Chain A
Amino acid sequence: MGAGSQHPSEGPARALVCCEALSFCWPGASAPTLSHLSLRLQAGEAVLLRGESGQGKSTLLSLLAGILSPSSGSLTVGGKDFHALSQRQRDRVRGADIGVIFQQFNLLPFLSILDNLLLPIGFSAERRARLAATGTPPEVAAEELLCTLGLSLKALGNRSVGALSVGQQQRVAAARALLGSPSLILADEPTSALDPKNRDAFLRALKGAQTARGAALLCVSHDPALEPYFDRTVTLDRLQGGRP
């Protein structure tokens, strides 16, 4: 069965992310890491991506973010055909429309919490413009986002990034990813450094903020306990229908 049959009811035009027969081979590697992968992500949807270690989940996120370009196959994000774009244009799309959350070390230790939060709108004029159109000053918008994630700049005070707990850092990272309303959030094992209690709090907050803003969320995790928070779960094996 082809991977395109995941959501037969939805037309491809409505999909936020759409890739068909996507393959990627790291330079120097003997076999492709990803081959014939198909994936569709609707706007506002939250999808959990599972797969064995080393199978290529992070690689897929890099492809979707436009950091790597596929060896073959088609990839469309937000209606933009990544194949037709230059590296710079893809960088610009990422800055404007995509929020990324890592497993750890999301924040630059030499910047204050607020400066970390405001980084994306410093990098992308489009994001800046989108935020300005809401009429909310960036600082206020950042504080509001932190609030929905259960944090407050006022409570954290002038603390340096390094003085935050890992759970707090992950929430600041989530707030940063969401600032300026990108349409797609890519999260690479964002909870693997958290204990179960922090993990649940983080996911609830992230899901809440994501739903409220109508962003699509693709989250990589090994942890089956995360499934209830997502609309559906996909595995790399099933996405790569062409593979045995």
Chain B
Amino acid sequence: MSALLRLAAASLLARRRTTGLMLLALTLSCALLFGVEKLRSEVRASAYASVGAVDLIVGARTAPETLLLATVFHYGALSTPLPRAVETRLASHPAVRFALPLSLGDSVAGLPVVGTVPAYFAHLGITPEGPLAFQAGGPFAGDEEVVLGAEAARRLGKELGDALTLSHGLGAESFLEHEDHPLRVVGLLAPTGTPLDQRVLVSLEALHAAHEGAASGASENENISALLLGLAPRAAALGLAAQLNRSGDPPLTAALPALTLAGLLRWLGAGEAVLQVLSAFVVVVALAGMLAMMLASLEQRRREMAVLRALGAGFPTLLFLLLTEALMLTGAAISLGLGLVHGGLALAAPALQSATGLALQDPGPTAREGLLALGALALATLSGLLPAWLAARRALMDGLSPQS
């Protein structure tokens, strides 16, 4: 057995040029397969992590997707404001664990500014239920303080204790600068790999003050953009959403973030599937190349087979030997492909994070990747079976003296 394995390895090594090229093609195709899978799972994990512990998003009547994209991913704007009275009303609902008001629409140097309340930090940890982790400092307490996401802090170049002024509206053009009323950075959030990293978080009052000038404070009939609700029990979300979506004063939309996200991702899933099928095809093509290489080498290896046959090798032995070669090649390619993807991620993660803010958490090969690897091995066995069977069969027919 081990003698046969060594024989297979020696034979592969002896043909190292073709073997090497084949290995390269197989490795790259496996890396593509695993890379696409990694990207797919990473995008999904990051998207779901962005939703965090929020069970329901409530805003003025609009599409649930619009509500989700605007509040979680800062994509698009919510045109109709939500009276703050709704928050007061919902906060007293028995199933509501927390109701966090969001005020959106402002930016600093292209980074979204989110007005909210200090409780935000207690509830929206990325690991569900937990509080948000801080690199330094803590939540804002007053209306002259600001908390920065990890990426926001890096891009603004601000540290704890630095001063920051706000501008109104998305975009770089700033309004009347309130140089006289700057905010102080009191907290820096730890990286989460979600859009939270880009956020600049202030109190509703601070945001209001920036809009109205220092003149007025927060008032009872001020408006917010949306509400993030955490519920207990979480299953109450469906009923509450239906109830809120029916209410007409004011007209509301309540979106179940996980459900809405799943809908969006399902749409994205078609694209993913195309990518996955394509990368699987690339693996199939590489395996077909291996098949062609093995078939081409059979004629040269007829003598080799006759020698092995003379030494007592039977049909199963020759079949095993040739299949082992195919599996060794594919196994090496899979390991190298995995190494390439995960090693590459480990090397590229810091650069990627500073360039895109995407914090890749790579826990190593996943079960799905294991399944893909098994699939590739099974495919290799199938494609190796043909030349192996042909060669072993012919070696039996050839007898001791192959006629070439």
Contact = CB atoms under 8 A, between A and B. Distances in A.
A123 B312 contact: yes
Nearest to A95: B312
Given A91-B312, A94-B312, A102-B306, A62 B399 contact: yes
A21 B314 CA distance: 27
Contacts of A201: none
A106 B311 CA distance: 11
Contacts of A27: 397
Nearest to A64: B400
Contacts, number: 77
Contact of B401 (A87, A102, A111): A102
Interface in A69-106: 87-88, 91-92, 94-96, 100, 102-103, 105-106
Nearest to B12: A110
Contacts of A115: 10
A67 B399 contact: yes
Interface string A110-122: 1100010001101
Contacts of B315: 87
Interface string B126-163: 00000000000000000000000000000000000000
A108 B305 CA distance: 10
Q: Which of B10, B306, B399 has the most CB of A within 10 A?
A: B399
Contacts of A124: 311-312
Interface string A210-223: 00000000000000
Q: Which of A65, A105, A108, A109 has the most CB of B within 10 A?
A: A108
Interface in B284-341: 303-304, 306-317
A107 B313 CA distance: 15
Contacts of A106: 307
Nearest to A88: B314
A92 B312 contact: yes
Nearest to B13: A110
A152 interface: no
Contacts of B11: 108, 110
Q: Which of B306, B307, B312 has the most CB of A within 10 A?
A: B312
B372 to A, nearest CB: 32
Contacts of A65: 310, 400
A100 B14 contact: no
B13 A105 contact: no
Interface in A195-232: none
For chain B, what secondary structure do more than half of its interface residues adopt (helix, strand, loop), or is it mixed? helix
Nearest to B395: A67
B399 A58 contact: yes
B3 A122 contact: yes
Contacts of B307: 102, 105-108
Interface string B393-404: 000110111000
Nearest to B310: A100
A107 B316 CA distance: 21
Contact of A96 (B306, B312, B317, B396): B312
Contacts of A59: 399
A159 B95 CA distance: 83
B312 A67 contact: no
A110 B14 contact: yes
Contacts of B401: 58, 61-62, 102-103, 188
Contacts of A110: 10-11, 13-14
Given A61-B400, A188-B401, A105 B310 contact: no
A43 interface: no
A68 interface: yes
Given A58-B399, A110-B13, A67 B309 contact: yes
Interface of A: 27, 58-59, 61-62, 65, 67-68, 87-88, 91-92, 94-96, 100, 102-103, 105-111, 115, 119-120, 122-124, 186, 188
The 10 A-B pairs with the shortest beta carbon distances in the complex, nearest first, are: A95-B312, A110-B14, A62-B399, A122-B3, A91-B314, A100-B310, A58-B401, A123-B312, A62-B400, A105-B303
Interface of B: 3, 7, 10-11, 13-14, 303-304, 306-317, 396-397, 399-401
6 contacts: A67-B399, A92-B312, A100-B310, A100-B311, A102-B400, A188-B400
